Amino acid sequence: MKIRELQLYTNELEKTKSFYTTILAFELIEENENQFSLQVGWTRLTFIKSNEEHIYHFSFLVCKNQFEKAFNWIQNKTKILNTDADQHIANFENWNAQSFYFYDGARNLAEMITHYNLAYENDVEFDQHSILGISEIGLPTTYIEATNHIL
């Protein structure tokens, strides 16, 4: 999935902005006192100030031949989380995919994922510009049937 625009809420606006602009070095494309927007590949990612805590899970897609480079790049910037199996890399055999996880400045669960069935490849050195975009966003709900109907 290619998510072209994603708006998320945070009560940690400055910490979140610092993480994405300083640690991951994404391009800040718009900012005011209540929100900021970044360009992450094909995705415009906006964080909006909130008085309440909001925790999300979303995935950044990387090229299939750059997964190891993406891992090394992130590992030098922030802590990579262990999976349930006490490993850093999650293998999704049914999806022919691999991923790893880390927290951003607001403790959102961010994921770097590659799908080996996709044709995306890139031979340049990996950096923030190598991330293709956001390809997944979690939609937790206690109203599963109603949400499915709406979607």
Spatial neighbors of 17 by CB under 8 A, at least 6 apart, are 28, 31, 36, 47, 105
Whether the CB-CB separation of 100 and 90 falls below 8 Å is answered with: yes
- Read off the pTM: 0.90
Q: What is the pLDDT of residues 104-147, one digit of tens each?
A: 999 999 999 999 999 888 888 999 999 999 999 998 788 889 98
Q: What is the pLDDT of residues 74-106, one digit of tens each?
A: 999 999 999 887 899 999 999 999 999 999 999
- Look at strands 5-10 and 43-49 and give their pairing: parallel
Whether the CB-CB separation of 32 and 121 falls below 8 Å is answered with: no
